[in-house]
Amino acid sequence: MFDGVMTAMVTPFKNGEVDYESLRRFVEFQIENAVDALLVLGTTGEAPTISDGERERIIGTVLEVNDGKLPIIVGAGTNSTEKSLKLIKSAEKQGVDGVLVVTPYYNKPTQDGLYQHFKYLSERTSLKIIVYNVPGRTGVNILPETVLRIAQDLRNVVGIKEASGNIAQIDKLMIELRKTREDFKVWSGNDDQAFHVMNSGGNGVISVLSNIAPKQVADMCRYALDGNVIEARKIHQRFFKLMKALFVETNPIPVKSALSLMGLVRNELRLPLTPAKETTTKLLETLMRECGLI
């Protein structure tokens, strides 16, 4: 898999349709700025509002532009185990490197239900699977004990994107994993916690910030993973306010606004998401200027 930063990519739109030209340029921008992997059609990519046909073409476009340079991971989780498997098998057929599978949302499975969900999927694909824990969106928190059970039993489940925001829970998970399965990776799912997670033994970050600051986030990760805490901290502190500002409204609303300020994609989302408030855009512009991004 990868250590470092994986950009949770936006999906560009133009007049309500997927903007494939901008998507191509955006993938090139990410590759040129030395990120370690790309996540396509996750939360930031507005996956719930993408049709099956668009999904296949988006993945194909990213794979074509990437041309084997970086690992390509595709969001493939729903709150139906069978529907999730369908997305996984489709992505597998297209030749991606792995899938990010969010814990089922709305129907709120038990911890055993979560385990059985990932067991069912892992037994039916050769792809590498990353668990995605984001209880603020799903209404369910996959506990360290359940993750450990998954890590021990399901060898093609290779890591977790931990976006619970609970540092104590993440630390507990990493401590226990090192006793049982050292190759099981833990990536921060929150930019503002990535520095801490890496310095506590984590493997990097699946990042929203790297949409607009890919080189800087990649540098922070490399410093942190190499043990250069001082240089990593400098970048973390420099971008901390911007990390927080990217979530003053629902992600990916602010990051789409920020990217439009850079001229990379249009400030366009699909309903029910709407463009950022003027106050949010002004805040982002101020912080991006302070960080030297515009």
Residues forming the active site: 132, 161
Residue 240 tokens read as 């901390």
* Number of CB atoms found within 10 A of residue 252's CB: 25
> Among 189, 177, 124, which Cα is nearest to 150's?
177
16 φψ region: left (φ > 0), alpha (ψ -120 to 50), beta (else): left
> Among 288, 273, 290, 281, which Cα is nearest to 10's?
273
> Among 19, 42, 21, which Cα is nearest to 208's?
42
Answer whether 73's CB lies under 8 Å from 40's CB: yes
Strand partners, 231: none
Query: How far is residue 144's CA from residue 209's CA, in Å, rounded to a whole number?
Result: 26
Answer whether 124's CB lies under 8 Å from 94's CB: no
Phi, psi of 12 (to 5 degrees): -75, 140
> Among 121, 144, 100, 89, which Cα is nearest to 1's?
100
Answer whether 97's CB lies under 8 Å from 59's CB: no
